[in-house]
Amino acid sequence: MALTQRTRGGVRPHRSGSQAHSSPAGRAESSSVAAALAPLVTAILGSEPPLRIELWDGSALGPSAEATPGTLIVRSPDAIRRIMWCPNELGLGRAYVAGELDLEGDIVAMVELLRDATPQQLRFGGPAVVAAVGAVRRLGLGRRPPPAPPEEARIHGWRHSLGRDAESVGHHYDVGNDFYRIVLGPTMTYSCARFTDVGNDLETAQDAKHELICRKLGLHERQRARLLDVGCGWGSMAIHAAQHHGASVVGITLSRPQADLARERVAAAGLGDRVEIRLQDYRRLRGEQFDAISSIGMAEHVGAKNADRYFEILRAALAPHGRLLNHAISSIGGSRIGRRSFIGRYVFPDGELLDVADTIRSMERAGFEVRDVESLRQHYARTLAAWIANLEDDWDEAVRLAGPGRARVWRLYMAGSAVGFSDGGVSIQQVLGVVPDPTGTTGMAATRRAWEA
């Protein structure tokens, strides 16, 4: 049975039972679950919740549905157990993935409200939390929660070893090519688009991003340039470079389903003589030389400890005057996506975001001259909004292909990411580097006009 039904406002959970009655956290009917849980809600969200909260007995807390962008629906007491045992985003995320809790309405706006209202970690011992624990015990919810949903990553081995990196990549990307086709649309491009006009659709914006990278790499200035696309995904960048600029491309990925579909797409485009897709780790590159390298959404999987080595390997694969375009999410000061976070457990195990300044330093230490840095942060918020709309518009098929838990993971993670890019909590930059020859010559023009359309 589907857990959701389609409405104009997005994914909308099925209702059951009587219509819930609304009230602030402290003014629910005394015999209701809402009344019993009011101290817990107050401890987490304050005395006036920013969202309507509906409980499994039909009672409710907070404003009316019309007064907020959505409703948080607690379908099962197990959701409360998860949040009490893990009182942060991971507990809430587990309940959502398990279907014990639903977010009905504009999920991006709801995640933003919850982020603003919820402390990073509850401080047990405060009066409100003591009252909340008492309320939970009175409802008989004090025992341990169910096991974590099966969608939670269980990765083994040394961090960023060859085997563990392959396992981490497989957890994220081997969800099913057809599922990703729903989310990403026809370009099958899983990275930030570039919207050059207000009216651009996602496909146009992804093509614009690929073209900008090609021009920054100087592919339009060379005949049959040799390009290495590291973390090539489903081959979209490789196909664009070969199709529009005559490049000879090698794309590498650790995901077998990605590689299989990328090869099919290359063949369908008639580019089998120009594009080779390999199932290969970047650390297995040996002695090949390229004119240009694109690294799009790849550096997040490398790790801060391996960043210098990553750029050294890419530098060794470039001849003098060769260029590297590194397109990667960043955070100020850098951050490791931790095991206590929802994204770390369900989306990007072992992921790390580098500070863009550290990326530049690593590239320079490897021998690159950094020539350009461009932020696409606002473009990524818009890209994620388009992906969320794609998922919600074909929700039932996405659930059929990947299962309800996995579809929920992607909906929640993309909403949280959209909030992060909108408010600047995370960013994304394209950093362009070139390899000078011994005289300092780079073969690049002195201004951006060479690649600006």
Which domain range does residue 293 map to? 162-450
146 in a structural domain: no
* Closest to 114 measured CA to CA, from 151, 72, 86: 72
How many Cβ atoms sit within 10 Å of the Cβ of residue 136? 20
433 in a structural domain: yes
CATH classification of the domain holding 396: 3.40.50.150
Asked if 453 contacts 215 with a C-beta cutoff of 8 angstroms, the reply is: yes
Domain termination residue (choose one: 103, 138, 173) = 138
Judge if 67 and 173 occupy the same domain: no
Q: What integer pLDDT is reported at residue 18 of this predicted model? A: 36
Q: What integer pLDDT is reported at residue 453 of this predicted model? A: 62
150 in a structural domain: no
- Crossing angle (nearest 10°) for helices 377-393 and 404-423: 150
The tokens of 321 are what? Answer: 């005057």
Judge if 238 and 134 occupy the same domain: no
Q: What integer pLDDT is reported at residue 87 of this predicted model? A: 73
Judge if 287 and 244 occupy the same domain: yes
Q: 49: part of which helix (H) or strand (E)?
A: none
Judge if 222 and 117 occupy the same domain: no
Judge if 284 and 414 occupy the same domain: yes
Q: What integer pLDDT is reported at residue 144 of this predicted model? A: 84
Q: What integer pLDDT is reported at residue 134 of this predicted model? A: 73
Judge if 233 and 363 occupy the same domain: yes
The tokens of 23 are what? Answer: 């009230």
This prediction has a pTM of 0.88
Burial of 143 (0-12, 13-18, 19+ CB in 10 A): exposed
CA dihedral defined by 277, 281, 282, 287, rounded to 10 degrees?
A: -80
**Helix intervals (H) in 98-161:** 107-117, 127-138
Q: Mark the ranges of the chain whose per-residue pLDDT is less than 70.
A: 1-31, 119-132, 155-163, 165-174, 337-339, 453
DSSP 368: P
Q: What is the CA radius of gyration of the chain?
A: 24
The total of structural domains in the chain comes to: 2
